[in-house]
Structure 1
Amino acid sequence: MLEVRDLHAQYGDSRVLFGIDLSVPTRGGVALLGRNGAGKSTLMKSLLDAGPQSRGEVMLNGQPLAGLPTEARARMGLALVPEDRRIFTTLTVRQNLELAWHAAGKDRPRMQVAEAVALFPMLATLLDRLGYQLSGGQQQLVAVARGLMASPRLLMLDEPAEGLAPKVAHDLAREVHAARDKLGLTVLVAEQSIAYARQCTEYVYLLDSGALVFSGDWAAFDANPELKTRYLAV
């Protein structure tokens, strides 16, 4: 699905990523772990050409993304749910969802609002509320659902558990996993929370100071407890 080779990224003169190699299999779930400032958000934005200056090879379904603008990459099937959610506060939930149709590619049908509600039943009572009337957990739910409205090939979630109560985060992770199963979705999740990431992914990449320090499945990650204390403990 997604292949990244020797990816470097920077903001101006500040280098953030150093030679990242990463693979996300079709219908797979991959966690990108690391502390704040490790480079997780920069990596995701680099895949969409949405801010950082980057160089390296990025392939989606065998097609190179070099030189393509953000909107073209979105229409090829990349969708990012940013860590700050970016819900339009003066629009209703329904309108927030429908805006994402503009990112749909011609080869994939747009998800209808009723389909989004079927995936995330809590949306049913929120459709007519304005963005500013939502709690943090509700905003995150809307942001995830909005990310699916263009029927992406790869959904990228940036710190989806940030600021959420543990139960709310747990419920959201469970719903993301259910959406993966139902839609055959491929997911890349950037997180500090191991508990959240573990619920909806099978593979792990660990970033520290812009470089990869581990890649493997959860069993291999758990077999090396030093990874948590050295690279994730605060």
Structure 2
Amino acid sequence: MNDSIKPPKSIMRKVGRAVADFKMIRDGDRILLGVSGGKDSLTLLQVLSHLQRYAPVEFELGVITVDPEIEGFDPAPLKAYYEALGVSWVYAEQPIMQEARENMSGDSFCAYCARMKRGIMYSTCRKQGYNVLALAQHLDDLAESLMMSLFHGGQMRTMKAHYVNDAGDIRIIRPLVYCRETQTGEFAVKAGLPIIPDSCPACFTKPTQRAYMKQLLAREERSNSHLFANMLHAMKPMMDEAPP
């Protein structure tokens, strides 16, 4: 794999610590990375490709992009990018937005879309022999999820860093859980990664709880520079499921 775009040490150190703390990658793993074309997943692709070359464990890496068939989503730059990297990739198409309008009940568009994409990624893992699914959520995402759970669900919960799916056959890892969104954004721009603009109409016409929490946390961080470090300290026990 072409490793010409090396992520900065500030990202690699945090990913290395997360991988070690949560025992994310094991010798012989076959990892499928979900890439939407956003800054976070493209950053994680570069991180994992670098780890693949230099980590003390050997693992295989593949990529899947799910096209929800939304007007304006053009994955062509991603296809060329994967081929240039020499990474094995899967391109899956499904009219998720249309299906959401026809079948959705009680969910937000974002929740429905995420669930459908996850099902496609699980299915691809099984068909192609991947035992690990890598996702690109970062510390900001986990903090927002915690706030949403607290405000709207009455529970203290957030995303797991490493866990096993309900069927027990696929491990899910989130190597960016210690990284900030500003870090992935800065790297993606400086490295010239082929970012695909978000064209989902639901994101523009239906402001989400997550967007509100992002704004709330940003306001608080302006007066409390240790906010996310403190939240990570509080969330860490919730993030660890320690799969066998």
TM above 0.5, one fold? no
More strand by share: 1
TM-score (norm 1): 0.35
TM-score (norm 2): 0.34
